[in-house]
Structure 1
Amino acid sequence: MRRLRICLIASSRFPVSEPFAGGLEAHTHALATELRARGHSVTLFAAPGSDPELGADALDVEAFEPGEAARADVGAPPEAWMREHHAYLGLMLDLARTGADRFDIVHNNSLHHLPVAMSSALTVPMVTTLHTPPTPWLESAIRLTPSARFVAVSRFTAEQWRSSTGAGVILNGVDTERWAVGEGGGGAIWFGRFVPEKAPHLAIHAARIAGMPLDLAGPIFDREYFQRKVEPLLDARVRYVGHLDTRELAARVGRASVTAVTPLWEEPYGLVAAESMACATPVAAFDRGALSEFVVPAGGRLATPGDPDALAEAMLAAAALPRDEVRRHALEHCSLQTMTDRYETLYEQQTTRMLAA
C-alpha cells in the first residue's frame, strides 16, 4: 500500500478528543491514529479542542458573525447553524483551490451536507462515510451530486440510503488493544450518551429484573431526560459513574459480566457493542438497526426491542458465554485493523480511478 496524503473531515460540533462525546468522535480518532501508524500523512479538520497529537486543523466554527442587516432578516437561520455552515464552506472552498496540491484523497467523516454538495468542485477524489440514517440536508446534497462516492457503516445503514445512493459497506472497527480483555465477574454496565433514544432507563429496569447491579457511564446530553427518567432510579446497586475517558471506561467494561445496549431507534452500527466484545464482555442488546450484523451468538444475545423482561433474560444468558469466544469474535469481525484495511483499499481504488481519468 503506497503512502497517501489524506484529508480527514470530522464533525465541527464536538472535538475529537477524550472523553469522546460519542461514537463518531471515537471512530474518527481511532481511524486517524491507525492511518498515521501505517505511515500515511493525515490532516484532520475537526472542532477546536481536538487531540493535538492528531495534528488537527481546527474548523473555524466561531469566527463567522453576520452583519447587522443579515441578523435583522426574519428568515435568517440560527447563528450556530450559520457558524457551522461557514466553517465547512470555508474548508471546501480551500480544498477546491489547493486540495489537489496537498492531498491524494479527502475522506468526509462529518454529518454536514456541504462537503458532499461541493465534492464535484474538487480535483482530488473524495469519499463520504454514512454514519446515520438519512437526514434531509444530506439526502438533498446526495441526490444532486451523483458523482459522490459513499460507504455506510453497516448493511442496514446502506439499505436506508438506497433510495438516494448506492453505498458500499465498511463495518466500523475498534482498537482491540485499547479495548483490552478484562477479567469479568462484576455486575452489568451500560455506556453511551444519555438521551431518550438510547434508553438507559430500560437498562436499569432490566438489570433489576435480572438481579444484577448496574453501572452507567457517559455524557449527559439531555439533562431533563436524565433527571426525569434516570436519576430517580439510582441507588446503591445502580450507579452513574460519570463521563469517562477510554482507558477508565474500558477497564470498567472489562470488569463487567455483561453490557446492556438499549436503543429505541434504528442503530446505524452500535459501537458500544463492539467495544464491549473487544473487552471479552458479552452484549445483551435490543434487536434494532445494525446490531444483529455483528452481535451474534458468539458475542451476545439479542432481545425484543423495548422489553425489559426480554432484555433481562438476554443479560443472564449473555453473561454465561465464554469470554474467550467473545473476544475472538471481536478480533475477527470488529477490529480497527480490518476496518482500516478496507478503507485503505477504498482510498487506493479512488485515487487510481482519478489518475486513470
Structure 2
Amino acid sequence: MSLRICLIASSRFPVAEPFAGGLEAHTHALAGALLARGHRVSIYAAPGSDPALNVQTLDVAPYVPTEAARRDVAASPDSWMQEHHAYLSLMLDLQRTGRDRFDLVHNNSLHHLPIAMAAALDVPMVTTLHTPPTPWLESALRLSASASAFVAVSSATAAEWAQTVAPAVIRNGVDVERWLPGPGGMDAVWFGRMVPEKGPHLAIEAARRAGAPLVLAGPLHDPEYFRREIAPRLGDGIRYAGHLDSEQLIHLVGRSAVALVTPRWEEPYGLVAAEAMACGTPVAAFARGGLVELVGEEGGRLCTPDDPDALADAMRAAVRLPRSGVRELAERHLSLAAMVDGYERVYRALVDTPVAA
C-alpha cells in the first residue's frame, strides 16, 4: 500500500549533492528509496535541496528585529529565530491540513519543535533520534513523548535516550547498488565534516605514525579549525581533496586501502564507516558510540579513542582484511533496503494503530 509521507528534514543545509554531512546524505537516500517503492513523499527541507525529491522549502522570510528588539541583550540570534519560525510555520500548517494531505509524518530533523508539537497533529508521527540527548530535544520529548513513535540509529544511541524514551533501533543504510566495491590502493582515506569533534587531525597523526599516505575530503564547516589544525599538517603524503559529491567519494574510497574514522564524541552511528565498508574498504576507527556495532571483526579494527598510536596499529591490522568480506558485511547488515524495510514496518504500525496523544 502506498503511503503519503511528510518527511521533515533539517533546515540548516540543503538535502543535495555534495552533502553537508551524514544527516543530509541519509535523508536524501531515505526519500529517494521511499519514492522508488511507490510512496508519495513530500520532503520539507532547506532551500537548494534536490528538486527530484518533491521538496517543499522549509524556510520563512529572514527575521529582521526592530531597534527595540535589538536592545534585548538576552535575545536569541536572528538565525535561531528564523529556524524556529520555519519549523513553527510547518507544524501549524500540518495542524490545520495534515490529515487531508498525509498518512504520517516522519520527523528526520534535529529541531525540538516537531517533537514538542506532535500532540497537536491529527496524523501520526515517527521521530528518528540522530544524536545523543540534548537539552532542547530532551525537554521537548518529555513534554510530548506519547504523541510520537521514536527510532534510534544505533543501540548505543537508544541506550543514551533510555531514561526518557525506549526507541526502536533501525540502523542507517547505505545504497549498496551505488557504493560499489573498489580495487583498493595504497592511500588511507578520511572523509566527513572538517570539524574538531570529527578529529581529522588525529587521522593525520595516525597516518604519519603508520607511514601511510592519507587523503582527506569533506566540507570546511569550521574554517578556523582547518586553518589551525589541518592546513599545517598537509604535505609529505597528506593531502586535502576538497568537498566531494557521492560519485567522487565512491571512486576515492573504493581505491583506498583503509578508511579512518576518528570521532571525539560518542558517534551516534557513523555513516562514513558503513559507506567505506560498502566499497570493500576496511575501517580503522575509535571505539565510540554506534561504531562499535558497525565495525565488527569482518569490517575493520577498533581502538582506544583519541590515541593516534593505537589508530596506527588498527590501520596496519585492518588493511590485512579481505575486501570481499568487508563488502559482504555491509550487504548483510548495513544496506539501504534493510533500513527502508524497517521504516516501512514502523510506518504501517503507526497508520494501523496511531500513537495516542
Alpha-carbon separation, structure 1, partners of 2:192 and 2:21: 7
Structure 1 segment 189-228 matched on structure 2, within 5 A: 189-228=189-228
In the alignment, is residue 329 of structure 1 matched against residue 329 of structure 2? Answer: yes
- Whether 2:250 is the aligned partner of 1:250: answer yes
Shift, 1:65, TM fit:
3.5
- d(CA) in 2 for partners of 1:75 and 1:217? 38
Whichever residue aligns with residue 19 of structure 1, its letter is P
Q: How does 1:1-357 map to 2 (within 5 A)?
A: 2-147=1-146, 148-354=148-354
Query: In 2, Cα distance between the equivalents of 1:182 and 1:291?
Result: 22
Displacement of 1:69 after TM fit?
Answer: 3.5
1:220-263 C-alpha deviation (Å, 9 max, x unpaired): 11111111111111004100000000000110000001000011
Structure 2 SS opposite 1:194: coil
Q: How many residues align?
A: 356
- Alpha-carbon contact 1:218-1:242 (below 8 Å) kept: yes
Q: How far apart, in 1, do the equivalents of 2:178 and 2:221 lie? A: 25
| SS class of match (1:242) | coil
Q: Deviations over 1:253-275 (max 9, x none)?
A: 00001000011110000000000
Structure 2 residue matching 1:288: 3-state secondary structure:
coil
- List structure 1 runs of 4+ shifted beyond 3 angstroms: 61-75
- By how many angstroms is 1:73 displaced? 3.2
CA deviation after TM superposition for structure 1 residue 355, in Å = 9.8
Shift of 1:180: 1.1
* TM-score, with length taken from structure 2: 0.97
Note the residue ranges of structure 1 that are not aligned, 5 or more in a row.
none
Q: 1:311 to 1:62 in 2, by over 3 A?
A: farther
3-state SS in 2 of match to 1:354? coil
Q: What is the CA distance between 1:356 and its match in structure 2?
A: 11
State the distance in 1 between where 2:65 and 2:41 align. 33
Cα offset for 1:74?
A: 3.5
Classify 1:159/1:327 alpha carbon distance in 2 versus 1 (closer, same or farther; 3 Å).
Answer: same
Q: CA deviation at 1:216?
A: 0.2
Higher deviation after alignment, 185-194 or 87-96: 185-194
Between the aligned partners of 1:318 and 1:356, the Cα distance in structure 2 is 48
Distance 1:98 1:112 in 2: 21
What amino acid sits opposite 2:320 in the alignment? A
The 1:73/1:331 distance shift into structure 2, 3 A limit, reads same
Residues 1:237 and 1:127: Cα distance change in structure 2 (over 3 Å) = same
| Cα 1:214–1:62 shift into 2, 3 Å | farther
Separation in structure 2 between the aligned mates of residue 66 and residue 339 of structure 1, nearest angstrom = 43
Unaligned runs of 5+ in 2: none
The answer as to whether partners of 1:106 and 1:127 remain within 8 angstroms in 2 is yes
Superposed CA offset, 1:163-184 (max 9, x none): 1111111111111122111110
User: Could you tell me how far apart the structure 1 residues matched to 2:60 and 2:285 are?
Assistant: 36
1:4-25 CA-partner distances (Å, limit 9, x unpaired): 0000000000000011000000
Residue 215 of structure 1 aligns to a residue whose secondary structure is strand
Contact 2:149 2:355 in 1 (8 A): no
Identical positions, percent: 65
Q: Is 2:4–2:39's contact at 8 Å kept on the other side of the alignment?
A: yes
Instruction: Tell me if structure 2 keeps the 8 A contact 1:178–1:246.
Output: no
Counterpart contact for 2:115–2:145, Cα < 8 Å: no
Post-superposition Cα deviations, 1:144-194, rounded to whole Å, max 9, x if no partner, equal 113122110001001111111111111111111221111102310000011
Deviation (angstroms), 1:89:
0.2
- Aligned alpha-carbon RMSD (Å): 1.4
> Aligned partners of 1:74 and 1:208: how far apart in 2?
47
- Distance in 2 (CA, whole Å) between partners of 1:131 and 1:298 is 25
**TM-score, length basis structure 1:** 0.97
Task: Kindly indicate whether the alpha-carbon contact (under 8 Å) linking 1:12 and 1:61 is maintained by their aligned counterparts in 2.
Answer: no
The answer (yes or no) to whether the contact 1:47–1:61 under 8 Å persists in 2 is: no
- CA distance in 1: counterparts of 2:21 and 2:355, whole angstroms: 36
Q: CA deviation at 1:52?
A: 0.9
Deviates more, 1:173-182 or 1:247-256: 173-182
- Tell me the SS of whatever aligns to 1:44: strand
SS at match of 2:354: helix
Q: Secondary structure of 2:353's match?
A: helix
- Give the secondary structure class of the aligned counterpart of 2:265: coil
